[in-house]
Amino acid sequence: MVLTGAGISAESGIPTFRGAGGLWRNFRPEELATPEAFARDPKLVREWYQWRRGVVREAQPNAGHVALAELERRVPEYLLVTQNVDNLHERAGSSKVTHLHGSIFIDRCIECGREMSPVPEEHCACGGWLRPGVVWFGEPLPEAAWQEAAAAAQCEVLLVVGTSALVYPAAALIPQAQACGAKVIEVNLEETRVSDAVDVSLRGPSARILPELL
């Protein structure tokens, strides 16, 4: 199993959640990625997602995304679990991907629940506000995605790439895999709260290290 976070997309020019450059109009992502922020100012939150959609559309998958797509072709039992809401894993060729936190390329009506590809309109035909199809802080993860990830965590090797391992329950997959006897390899620019607990912690940019690992 592979668990990725915002760090794997950093070298594609997509700001991470907690690193430098993650701000938008001086708002921190945690302030905007909540149901309360959307309820308070849906226009502002929608603008932030429209901006992020543009950044992702402009971005290209990097060598790290490509290496994971190749790894999938070589490993018979494999699942890529991502916390990211961008589509760079899929654009790099990964097909066995589970999004724990949803996708930025879905709009969902808060009234009728209809889902659609992102539209410029702010409201659904039924009049309800359109929100992005992502999991905000305080919202439960999609049950199916979580179950898939929890099952895949019973693995021989867990590769953890570009995550600060701060957000739960995604971060809980790491000790869960270890409890099942998995060897855990971390790839991160910096030391994280799990670096001491994993079996191997490789320090450096994932776009360089993942091709080397492959």
Per-residue CA distances from 125 to 58, 105, 116, 130, 133 (Å): 29, 19, 12, 10, 17
Q: What is the DSSP letter of 9?
A: H
Tracing tokens 């953890």 back to the chain, one arrives at: 160
- Nearer residue to ligand BV8 within complex by CB, 120 or 138: 138
Residue 77 or 190: which CB sits closer to ligand BV8?
190
Q: Which is nearer to ligand BV8, 184 or 187 (CB)?
A: 187
Rounded to the nearest angstrom, the gap between the alpha carbon of residue 58 and the centroid of all alpha carbons in its chain is 18
Q: Which of 65, 89, 99, 101 is catalytic?
A: 101
Q: What's the min distance (Å) between Cβ of 140 and ligand BV8?
A: 4
> Does 101 qualify as catalytic in the annotation?
yes
The CB-side HSE value for 155 (13 A sphere, CA atoms) comes to 27
Reported as type and span, the H/E element at residue 161 is: strand 157-161
Q: Which is nearer to ligand BV8, 20 or 127 (CB)?
A: 20
Query: Rule CB under 6 A: which residues touch ligand BV8?
Result: 5-7, 10-11, 16-19, 33, 83-85, 101, 134-140, 162-164, 166-168, 187-190, 192, 205-206
Task: Report which residue type is found at 43.
Answer: K
Structure tokens at 165: 């391992």
Token output for 139: 């919202």
Beta carbons within 10 angstroms of residue 33's beta carbon: 23
Cα gap 30→38, rounded to integer Å? 12
Q: Indicate the residue whose CB is closest to ligand BV8.
A: 7
Does the CA dihedral 122-127-131-137 come out positive or negative? positive
Between 16 and 182, CB nearer to ligand BV8 = 16
List active site positions.
101
